[in-house]
Homo-oligomer: A and B are copies of this chain.
Amino acid sequence: MAELWNLGAAAMAAAVREGRATSEALVAACLARIAEREPEVRAWEALEPEAALAEARARDAEPARGPLHGVPVAIKDIIDTADLPTAYGSPIYAGHRPARDADCVARLRAAGAVVLGKTVTTEFATFRPGKTRNPHDTGHTPGGSSSGSAAAVAAGMAPLALGTQTVGSVIRPASFCGVVGFKATRGRLSLDGVKPLAAAFDSLGCFARSVEDVALWLTALEGGVPAPPRAAAPRVALVRTAQWQKAAPETRAAVEAAAARLAGAGAAVEEPALPDDFARLADEQDVIFAAGALRALARERAGHPELLSPQLKEVLARGAAVGAGRLAEAEATAARCRTALAELFDRVDLVLAPAAPGEAPAGLEATGDPLFNRMWTLLLGPCLNLPAGQGPQGLPVGVQLVGALDSDPAFLADAAWAERALGAAT
Tell me if A131 is interfacial: C-beta within 8 Å of chain B. Answer: no
A186 proximity list for chain B (CB < 8 A): 187
In the complex, which residues 289-339 of chain A have their Cβ closer than 8 Å to any Cβ of chain B? 291-292, 294-296, 298-299, 319, 322, 324, 327-328, 331-332, 334-335, 338-339
A342 proximity list for chain B (CB < 8 A): 338-339, 342-343
In the assembled complex, the CB of A405 is this many whole angstroms from the nearest CB of chain B, namely 6
A263 proximity list for chain B (CB < 8 A): none
Tell me if A103 is interfacial: C-beta within 8 Å of chain B. Answer: yes
Total identical chains: 2
A223 proximity list for chain B (CB < 8 A): 291-292, 294-295, 319, 327
Query: A residues engaging B (CB < 8 A)?
Result: 98-100, 103, 106-107, 110, 185-196, 199-200, 202, 221-225, 227, 291-292, 294-296, 298-299, 319, 322, 324, 327-328, 331-332, 334-335, 338-339, 342-343, 345-346, 380, 404-407, 409-410
Task: Give the residue of B99, B202, B338, B406 whose beta carbon is less than 8 angstroms from that of A98.
Answer: B99
Bound complex: CA A290 to CA B380 (Å): 24
Do A200 and B188 touch (CB < 8 A)?
A: yes
Residue of B nearest to A225 (CB): B324
Bound complex: CA A338 to CA B346 (Å): 10
A380 proximity list for chain B (CB < 8 A): 187, 405-406
Do A200 and B222 touch (CB < 8 A)?
A: yes
Residue of B nearest to A99 (CB): B99
A345 proximity list for chain B (CB < 8 A): 339
In the assembled complex, the CB of A402 is this many whole angstroms from the nearest CB of chain B, namely 14
23 A–B contacts, CB within 8 A, in A order: A99-B99, A99-B100, A186-B187, A187-B188, A187-B380, A189-B199, A190-B191, A192-B192, A192-B194, A200-B222, A222-B291, A222-B292, A223-B292, A223-B294, A223-B319, A224-B291, A224-B322, A224-B327, A225-B324, A327-B409, A335-B406, A342-B342, A380-B406
Residue of B nearest to A204 (CB): B199
Do B224 and A202 touch (CB < 8 A)?
A: no
Task: Give the residue of B188, B332, B407 whose beta carbon is less than 8 angstroms from that of A410.
Answer: B332
A185 proximity list for chain B (CB < 8 A): 187
The 8 A-B pairs with the shortest beta carbon distances in the complex, nearest first, are A187-B187, A99-B99, A190-B199, A342-B342, A225-B324, A190-B196, A224-B324, A339-B342
Do A191 and B188 touch (CB < 8 A)?
A: no
Residue of B nearest to A341 (CB): B342
A339 proximity list for chain B (CB < 8 A): 342-343, 345-346, 404
Residue of B nearest to A380 (CB): B406
Do A295 and B191 touch (CB < 8 A)?
A: no
Decide: A334 near B191, CB < 8 A? Known: A328-B227, A345-B339. Answer: no
Task: Give the residue of B187, B192, B327, B331 whose beta carbon is less than 8 angstroms from that of A193.
Answer: B192
Bound complex: CA A261 to CA B1 (Å): 72
Do A103 and B196 touch (CB < 8 A)?
A: yes
Residue of B nearest to A344 (CB): B339
In the assembled complex, the CB of A78 is this many whole angstroms from the nearest CB of chain B, namely 11
A292 proximity list for chain B (CB < 8 A): 222-223
Bound complex: CA A346 to CA B343 (Å): 11
Do A338 and B405 touch (CB < 8 A)?
A: yes
